Chain A
C-alpha cells in the first residue's frame, strides 16, 4: 500500500507526527495511566523539555512503520490484556490515519501506578 503510484509528487509523514497520533491513542486506552521515559537520559531530557511524545518511538524499517511505546499501567489490571489492547488500538488508529500498514507495535510496560491497594 506504500507503493501507491503518486505521479505528482511525494507525501512524507514525519515520525513526530505519527508519535502524536500514537500518544493520543494510548492516553485513551483503558489501563494506561501514563507514558514513561524509556531510559535515564530520556527521563532527564523530559524534565528539561516537556514533550508529551517522550515514551513513544517511531521508526521506519524498510517500508514499514515500527512503533515502540513505553507505558505506565494501573496496578491491579491484567497487564497482558492492557498491553494487547494498546497494541491493537495504536495499530488501528495509525493505519486508519495513514493508510499504511504498521509493521509492529512493541509495548513496554515500564512501571505500575498504584492508586489503591486491596
Chain B
C-alpha cells in the first residue's frame, strides 16, 4: 500500500508548460471530462478503498458507495453539452445528492454541493474561484455533522482547501497548479489519518473515505496529464493476499498461460519499471513481496510463456517457476457451470424460501434443500435492498421466508421486508451453516408461522466457523494477527491465528468444541481444490475419529473454509 498513490510528477517540462496554459481556467466541457476521469480512477481502485473500510462500521463498502454516488453524478451530466462550469457543477451536485449512498457518499455529495454554490453561474473557473469552491465545499461538508471526527474524508477535504489557499498565496496562476497541489495534499492527509483516528491505526489502515476522495482528485490530474486510468495503482501486496486472488480470477482469450515466478532480486527492484516491462508481455499482472522474496504472476499468450521467466532471471535469482495452461483450466470450469441450479418451483399459497448465497456450491446445497430463489451476496458484496425486494416480488406466492446468511445483510433483508406488500419473515441467520440448519426445518406447504418459528429455533443448534487469510496486520480481541496469516473465526469472532490452514482449522474446531459435536461440515471456497479440501477433512477425521466429517464444495470467495459444527 505504501507504493500506492505517489503522484507521478514525472512529466516532461515543456508538456507541462503547455498544460498549465491549457488549464489556466476550466470551462464546462473540461470539468465534465475531469469528473469522468475521477470516476473512472475511483472505480479502478474501488476494491482498494473497500478493503480499508473500518470506520464508522467495518462493512467494506466505502469504495462501492463512493463509486455509485459519483456514477449518479456522472449520469446527470453524461449527455450535457453545458459550456458554463457553474451550471455543470450544479448538475453534478444534484446527481450526487440524488444518488448518495452510505456515509462517504453523503459527504461527497455535500462537498459537490458547496463547490457548486461557490461557482454559482460562472462560465470559467480560474484560480481564485477554484480556491473559493474548495473552501465552500469544506465548509458545507463540516456543517453536516455535530461532532466531526478527524482522520476521515472531512479532514482530507479540509487539508485540500488549505493547500489550495496556500498555493494561491504563493502565486499559482493556472488551475492545473491548484489541482497538482491538492492531489499532493490529499495524499499526505490520507497518510496522516491513522494518527488522528486510533481505530485506523489499530487496524493498520488509512481512512477509506479520505482515500476515495484522494483517488477522485488524482484521477482528474491523471486525465490532465494524459495518464491511463484503467490499471490500478501499482501496489505490491503481501504474498498471502496474492495467492488468495490467483484462483478466483477469470480467464480471457489470449491469456493462454499462467506463469508464476518467485525470485530474489540482486538489487532493489524498481517496481514501476518492472510493471512496465511485464505489461508489454501480458495481462493480469500481480506482484507480491515478503521478506525480500518477490512473486510475479502474469498471463501470457501461447508460445510466450518463457519470456517473463527469461526477463526475471536477468533481475536476480529465480527460486521457483510454475506454468499452467489456462485454456485447459477454463475447459474444466465450463463443464461444472453446466450443472445448473435446480430451484424449487413454488405455487401460489405455498411458502417461498430465498437464500443469500456467497458461492455457486453453496447455492446448490440450498437448492437441494428446497430454496425457490437465490440472491448472490456475502461478505464485502452485500446485495442492495432493491435486489432482495426484487427476489420477493418475482416469486409467485405472497408468503416469503428469507435467509440473509450474513449479519450485514440482515438489515437490508429487513428493510426489503418492510417495503414488500407480501408477508415476509426474515430468519436472522448470520452464516451459511445457520441458514442450512434453518432450511432443514423448511416445508414448502407448511403453516407459515410454525415454520418460521421452527427455522428461527434451529439457528442456535449450529456452531459456525470461518477460515480466512488476514489482509493486514491488526490486533483483534487481544489476539495479534500478522498480514498473510490464516485466521479462524467462530460466530464472527476471532478465535485463533496461525501460519497454516491445517493448524488454524484444527485449532478453530477445537475452540468450537468439535469433540461434543456429531457432524462437522467443511464448505470449501473457490480458492481450494477438492483434493486439498479432502486432505484437510482427513486431518479432521484423524483428530476427531468419533465425529462424522462431510466435505461440500461451497465456491465462496475470500473464505477458503466455512465450518459447521452440529
- Is B169's beta carbon under 8 Å from chain A? no
Size category of the A interface is 20 to 34
- Pick out which of these stretches binds chain B: A8-16, A25-33, A39-47, A53-61: A25-33
- The CA of A29 and the CA of B106, in the complex, are separated in Å by 11
Interface flags for B107-125 (1: CB within 8 Å of A; 0: not) read 1011001101100000000
Of the residues B57, B100, B143, contact of A81 by C-beta under 8 Å: B100
Please state if B56 and A28 are interface contacts (CB–CB under 8 Å). yes
**Which residues of chain B are within 8 angstroms of A31 by Cβ–Cβ distance?**
106, 144-145
Given A31-B144, A33-B146, A76-B97, do A88 and B106 touch, yes or no (CB 8 Å)?
no
In the complex, residue of chain A having the shortest beta-carbon distance to the beta carbon of B99: A78
Q: A87 to nearest B CB, angstroms?
A: 7
How far, in angstroms, from A116 to B415 measured CA to CA in the complex? 32
Decide if A21 is an interface residue (CB 8 Å cutoff): no
A74 touches B143 (CB 8 A): yes
A-side contacts of B428, CB under 8 Å: 101
A88 in contact with B59 (CB, 8 Å) = yes
Residue-by-residue, is B69-108 near A (CB-CB < 8 Å gives 1, otherwise 0)?
A: 0000000000000000000001001000111111101110
Q: By the criterion CB–CB under 8 Å, are A77 and B110 in contact?
A: yes
Interface size on B, residues (CB 8 A): 32
Q: Is the CB of B56 within 8 A of A29?
A: yes
Chain B CB count within 10 A is highest, among A30, A32, A116, for: A30
What mask results when residues 461 to 488 of chain B are scored 1 for a CB within 8 Å of chain A, else 0?
0000000000000000000000000000
A85 within 8 Å of B (CB atoms): yes
A32→B445 CA distance, assembly (Å): 46
Inter-subunit contact A78/B143 (CB<8 Å): no
Tell me if A115 and B145 are in contact (CB < 8 A): no
Known interface pairs A27-B146, A89-B56, A118-B117; A76-B110 also in contact (CB < 8 Å):
yes
Chain A nearest CB: distance from B62 CB in Å? 12
Judge whether A82 and B113 touch: CB under 8 Å.
Answer: no
Q: A81-B100, A85-B102 are in contact. Are A92 and B57 (CB under 8 A)?
A: yes
Measured CB to CB, the residues of B under 8 A from A are 56-57, 59, 90, 93, 97-103, 105-107, 109-110, 113-114, 116-117, 140, 143-147, 149, 411, 414-415, 428
25 example contacts (A-B, Cβ-Cβ < 8 A) are as follows A27-B147, A30-B144, A31-B144, A32-B146, A33-B145, A33-B146, A74-B143, A76-B113, A76-B140, A77-B106, A78-B106, A78-B109, A81-B101, A81-B102, A81-B106, A82-B106, A84-B102, A85-B56, A85-B106, A87-B411, A88-B411, A91-B411, A104-B414, A118-B93, A118-B113
